[in-house]
Structure 1
């Protein structure tokens, strides 16, 4: 009788454990998958080059003269020099349709003697370091080109709390949306990092000038809609940084 009761108790505990584990997995799966999902295979590679200060002018001159050797292989979205928020840096964004596409482009570049001899062999010694990230446009964003040339760009990078868009996506979208309202700034694109620091989101903004940006920021700080949206988003924010970018003469985004 004792053995039967023990066996029955064990069976009940095991059954409860299975139900608990299954329910837990289902809840976890639902929680992780909640929110917009990336559907498009197209991604954007963010590349930052840190130039040796005494070679900054020479690097820009070389790149201006030879950038067509690189753009012959894949699409350049934009190329900027960093004016504020980082000295002796250039930032550029390259578009790829897939990882296989990028691999093919990199292989072709390595086999391109003109690119290797006329640019890479000269440019690399001018750099102190390089960095890159693979990013996707968030599902509710698209690339928006400014209506005119001659402005400045701001790259604002947000390090969000772990959990992804399921945790902070809605509040982040709300904060961006209020800053992108008529009379404010143009969001060129909102990008979510896939490789690099995770839970990182970049917003690339366009302004007519640095002074225009300052005026817009002053206006936003006194707008109750913006303030409310920022307060909701900041609960999921760990840190953020900003760089003001000047487009190079050959940048598609100017």
Structure 2
């Protein structure tokens, strides 16, 4: 199983146009037929908006197959994509491998995104320590992922806590925390 975290950046004005397109075209066209939507979040900083959404697929091959089917849908290709692309300032995506040992029913509590930039070879140790903290009740994490693409030394955590789960490794570790506003969160 893989998850794809898609991130788009907008001006405030472009965001309003994009969100209307997303709700009226993207969601009705895609549904869960081309990947299962896990949740939607936004972050506002000044006049900029970052929109994130998380999609689940059985595998990378399944993602490629479903994306190839989606691009064949006339409404997607001719209506949504051209209008949506005109609003986007920047786009990023990450392919993530779920690594949380505790089963979580929903990403509803997610309010923070923590990204750990690990030294080479240390991501596994960070994941193990976070899973231990969750199992012992020291951290409330809704999602924990190893990054397949683009940075294999990055660990991604979503949760309700402002503070990122603490880890103790004998090397430099950079943790970036972003505050998220849920737009719509669906059951996994």
> What residue is the counterpart of 2:49 in the other structure?
88
String of CA shifts for 1:117-142, please: whole Å, max 9, x gaps: 33112111000111111110126354
Give matches, 1:142-221, under 5 Å.
Answer: 142-145=103-106, 151-165=109-123, 169=125, 172-175=127-130, 177-178=132-133, 182=137, 186-206=140-160, 213=161, 217=163
Structure 1 stretches lacking a partner, 5+ long: 1-41, 207-212, 221-225
Shift of 1:85: 10
Q: 1:145 deviation in Å? A: 1.7
Q: Which has the higher strand share?
A: 2
1:63 is aligned to 22
Structure 1 contact 44–96 (Cα < 8 Å) conserved: yes
Residues 161-219 of structure 1 show CA distances to partners (whole Å, capped at 9, x for unaligned) of 11144xx51x553355436754x65311110001111210011103xxxxxx56xx5xx
Residue of structure 2 in register with 1:241 after alignment: 176
Across the aligned residues of Structure 1 and Structure 2, the Cα RMSD in angstroms comes to 3.0
1:98–1:172 distance in 2 versus 1, CA, 3 Å: closer
- 1:190 and 1:85 mapped to 2: Cα distance? 29
Structure ID, larger Rg = 1
SS at match of 1:198: coil
Q: TM-score, normalised by structure 1?
A: 0.63
Q: How many residue pairs align between the two structures?
A: 186
